[in-house]
Amino acid sequence: MFNTPTLLALYHVMRKGFIDRMYGVVSAGKEARVYWAKDRKGRDVAVKIYLTFTAEFRKSIKQYIIGDPRFEAVSSDLRKLILKWVQKEYKNLKRMFNAGVRVPEPYYAYRNILVMEFIGENGVRAPLLKEISLSKEEYERIYRKVVEYMRLMYRVAGLVHADLSEYNIMVYHGEPVIIDVSQAVTLDHPLATHFLLRDIRNIIRFFREKAGIETHTIEELYRIVTGEEGVLEWEE
Ligand SMILES: Nc1ncnc2c1ncn2[C@@H]1O[C@H](COP(=O)(O)OP(=O)(O)O)[C@@H](O)[C@H]1O
Ligand SMILES: [Mg+2]
């Protein structure tokens, strides 16, 4: 089920106590699998393990790594790229968490393995925003929270999520939890504004068209998130 390097990495994480027992697969994505596990204290954790790196994925992640000063001198070595990608996800989670954005609390990252807070109960993950149907009032509250998190992410953490949509927001106890932050970039990344506008458009589209609530305009949301006037770039 796991290759040898992954087994060795898992063994290391277990010896550290961040994983004690692994249970079922919560999600099997194209590149990463997420497992429910318990740590040595018996606390539920989510374990995200990167297993395969397709050529397509490799190409797509380069645009997020190149331009991020934390990841200068990107190696073309695939193995090293994976390690950087997991470190990037861990650091991004930490920065967002410290900025007050509701994300899974990151616990540990090693090689291709990331251990974080499990969002859910008894091994059952919380639903994604796109998987549930809520009342207008609930959507409005979640929308306001998501806007606040985008603002904190930008202004306090200095990051743009860059893949924000109803697919990467979980709803836990009626509150949004932002996930999947590996591709988030710092504000000095050359495409930061481009990614931010894409996030803004995704969020407005979902809450307007699917949730059926009133939202800000793109310009308004851009101003709320960044504190700056004017959208500098348009893309259709
Ligand atoms: N901390 C977590 N707790 C519970 N479930 C999670 C957690 N993180 C991710 N998941 C589940 O795993 C899925 C995939 O995780 P995600 O980080 O979005 O990876 P990707 O989309 O790259 O495969 C999510 O849609 C969610 O259902
Ligand atoms: Mg995802």
Final residue before a domain boundary, out of 86, 121, 156: 121
Work out whether the CA dihedral 144, 158, 64, 67 comes out positive or negative: positive
What secondary structure does DSSP assign to 42-69, as a single string?
A: S-EEEEEEE----HHHHHHHHHHHTT-G
Both 108 and 142 in a single domain? no
The mean per-residue pLDDT over the stretch 134-151 comes to 98
Residue 86 shares a structural domain with residue 164: no
Comparing 173 with 231, which gets the higher pLDDT? 173
The residue count for the chain: 236
Domain of residue 104: give its range. 4-121
200 and 182 housed in the same domain:
yes
In this predicted structure, the answer to whether residue 236 has a pLDDT above a threshold of 70 is no
Any idea which residues carry the catalytic annotation?
163, 180
User: Considering every ligand atom, which ligand is closest to the CA of 170?
Assistant: 1
Q: Is the pLDDT of residue 215 over 90?
A: yes
For ligand 1, the distance from its centroid to the CA atom of residue 214, given in whole angstroms, is 28
Q: In terms of C-beta density within 10 A (0-12 exposed, 13-18 middle, 19 or more buried), how is residue 144 classed?
A: exposed
**Which atom of ligand 1 is nearest to 168's Cα?**
18
DSSP H/E element including 24: strand 21-28
| Pair of tokens at residue 95 | 């920065």
Can you give the pTM of this predicted structure?
0.94
Cα end-to-end span (Å), the chain: 43
pLDDT of residue 28 exceeding 50: yes
pLDDT at 156 (0 to 100): 98
Which tokens belong to 110? 């090693």
pLDDT single digits (tens) 33-66: 999 999 999 999 999 999 877 777 777 777 887 7
CATH classification of the domain holding 195: 1.10.510.10
Calculate what percentage of the chain has a pLDDT beyond 90. Answer: 79
Residue 234 within a domain: no
Residue nearest to atom 11 of ligand 1 (CA): 27
How many domains would you assign to the chain?
Answer: 2
The answer to whether residue 112 sits within a structural domain is yes
